[in-house]
Amino acid sequence: MAKAAAKNKRGIAGWLNPYHYNAERWAYTFQRVTGVAVLLYVLGHLGDTSFFVGGPTGTGPSASSWAFIGTVFENTFGHTILVLLVLALVFHGVNGIRLVLSEFGLILRKPSAIEFPYKPKALASGQRALIYVGIATAVLSAIWTYLVLFEGMG
């Protein structure tokens, strides 16, 4: 134990706990968590869509197999997963665009002479606004998905 304590590495807590830090650090954590979550969904989605052709051992489009998978996922449980998926997916996508633009320096301010107290240019409002756009878009999309799946809209 003393050995681990002496190493003093934050470990995965450094990825998952952005408390005390900036908005971009929170976005980093959510980007990572939503990325893994969406990948897990996609793997499940590969499985459920395969039931359109009868599942792993199927040979062609099967109405009964598709109806069967519908009984498994077309319910409150499955629809709740879809609402959460859209929330995670849309945030991951919009925040991902921010990251691509930032990591190529396209929406960052140029280095210049600085004055104190210094506000980091990398964390300036331009790119940071996209984090909030991502959150807003994700929430609105999730609400839309809820209305479509639970209230019969669309």
Residues 64-123 that bind other proteins (CB under 8 A): 64, 66-67, 70, 74, 86, 89, 93, 96-97, 99-100, 102-105, 108-114, 116, 118, 120-123
Would you call 15 helix, strand, or coil by DSSP?
A: helix
Give the x-and-dash track for 21-60 against other proteins (CB under 8 A): xx-xx-xxx-xx--xx-xx--xx--x--xx-xxx---xxx
> Site for other proteins (CB under 8 A): which residue of 71, 76, 77, 154?
154
In the complex, least distance from residue 12 CB atom to other proteins, rounded to whole angstroms: 6
Tokens of 115: 């004055």
Dist CA 88 CA 38 (whole Å): 7
Smallest distance, Å, CB 27 to other proteins?
8
Q: How far apart are CA 140 and CA 90, in angstroms?
A: 10
| Member of 15, 44, 72, 125 binding other proteins (CB under 8 A) | 15
Count the site residues for other proteins by CB under 8 A: 79
Beta carbons within 8 Å of 123's beta carbon, 6+ residues apart: 22, 23, 24
| Beta carbon of residue 55, minimum distance to other proteins (angstroms, whole number) | 10
Tokens at residue 117, please?
């107290």
Q: What backbone torsions phi and psi does residue 12 show, to the nearest 5 degrees? A: -65, -20
